[in-house]
Amino acid sequence: MPATAPSPLARADLLAALRGTPALRPAVDRNVAGGLRAWLEDGIFEQLGVPGRGAVRLSTRSVTGSPPVASMTSLLRGALVAQLVRLQVAGQRIDDPFDDASCALAASGRNNDLVTMLVDLDTEDHARLAAEVKAHYAVLDVHLASIPSRWSPRCGVRQAIPLAGGGVELRGHVDVALGEPGSSRACVCLLQVTTSVLEARHEAVLSYLALLETLRAGEPPLRVAALSTSDGAFVVRDATPELLAGAVAGVLSALGAFSAR
């Protein structure tokens, strides 16, 4: 289904909700990360004992139960919108969303299989995909029209958190990260962009990525958010202890499923 741009009233809502008012941000509690890590370490030992180095690698998909991509078109659309996110956050001018995203994908040197699939599209599928990408970009342009450089925006942040002496590794990928850790008040915000309609599983993705950021940085992020370029809907969540605890429970559940194999 083609994406539709939200009303003009929604233009600043996502970033405003995500970043909030600096003076109202909570103080950083650097004891949280250690407690979460200890909880995970204990859970790993209870379920797996002492796993060999590299024995278990969990991804966002394996922890949150995200379904596989349904079709080739969905896969290509997601990859192209991901390139548009990078271009948009970098402040690059985008004249033709489909062509610009295709060039960026090819120039990335990655996803060669996707580039081949893109080149091999027939005329009808090419036109349909180009129209979809244009519509999704219209939504993206509304919500991420301009991100100040002082927010330290970063795209495609990959996280790999070793636990149990390297026996377990938690992996994740953040589409957009804003702010830097190390201040007295929480500052870091994480944003995931999806081309699908938001579902309950996206909440689990956000909590998992908040957990990884907490373990990586030694302090919780301020907030996490998901934006759907399908319809412009978004959800913003504070990185509360309850949200992080839910992520730990999800990781331990995934480990339980792994150990039961």
| DSSP assignment string, 148-198 | -GGG--EEEEEEEEEEGGGTEEEEEEEEEEES-S-SSB---EEEEEESSPP
Same structural domain, 50 and 165? yes
pLDDT at residue number 74: 87
pLDDT at residue number 4: 42
CATH code where residue 211 lies: 3.90.320
8 or 95, which is more confident: 95
Determine, yes or no, domain membership for 59. yes
Determine, yes or no, domain membership for 2. no
pLDDT at residue number 56: 94
Decide which of 143, 164, 191 is a domain's last residue. Answer: 143
Nearest to 102 by CA among 131, 76, 75, 70: 76
* Predicted structure pTM score: 0.91
pLDDT at residue number 67: 73
Determine, yes or no, domain membership for 156. yes
Decide which of 143, 162, 189 is a domain's last residue. Answer: 143
Alpha-carbon distance of 118 to 179, in angstroms, equals 35
Using one digit for the tens of pLDDT, what is the confidence trace for 141-164? 999 988 999 999 999 999 999 999
* Out of 11-15, 101-105, 165-169, 229-233, least confident range: 11-15
Segments forming the whole domain that contains residue 156: 8-66+148-259
Instruction: Please work out, in degrees rounded to the nearest 5, the angle formed at the alpha carbon of residue 175 by the alpha carbons of 232 and 119.
Output: 85
Determine, yes or no, domain membership for 3. no
Same structural domain, 48 and 155? yes
Same structural domain, 159 and 35? yes
Number of independent structural domains in the chain: 2
pLDDT at residue number 72: 80
Eight-state DSSP code of residue 121: -
pLDDT at residue number 261: 66
* Out of 70-84, 157-171, 209-223, least confident range: 70-84
Using one digit for the tens of pLDDT, what is the confidence trace for 214-226? 999 999 999 999 9
Determine, yes or no, domain membership for 84. yes
pLDDT at residue number 260: 65
Same structural domain, 139 and 160? no
Determine, yes or no, domain membership for 218. yes
Same structural domain, 165 and 231? yes
Decide which of 143, 173, 194 is a domain's last residue. Answer: 143
Same structural domain, 80 and 138? yes
Q: Which residue type is seen at 31? A: N
- Residue 153 structure tokens: 């925006």
pLDDT at residue number 9: 37
Same structural domain, 126 and 109? yes
Same structural domain, 207 and 226? yes
* Out of 66-70, 208-212, 217-221, least confident range: 66-70
Determine, yes or no, domain membership for 205. yes
Using one digit for the tens of pLDDT, what is the confidence trace for 90-138? 999 999 999 999 999 999 877 788 899 899 999 999 999 999 999 999 9
Determine, yes or no, domain membership for 214. yes
Same structural domain, 116 and 218? no
Pairing of strands 223-228, 234-238: antiparallel
Same structural domain, 54 and 165? yes
Same structural domain, 43 and 157? yes
Same structural domain, 18 and 117? no
Residue 196 phi/psi, 5-degree rounding, is: -100, 170
Over residues 182-203, the mean pLDDT reads 95
Percent of the chain at pLDDT > 70 equals: 93
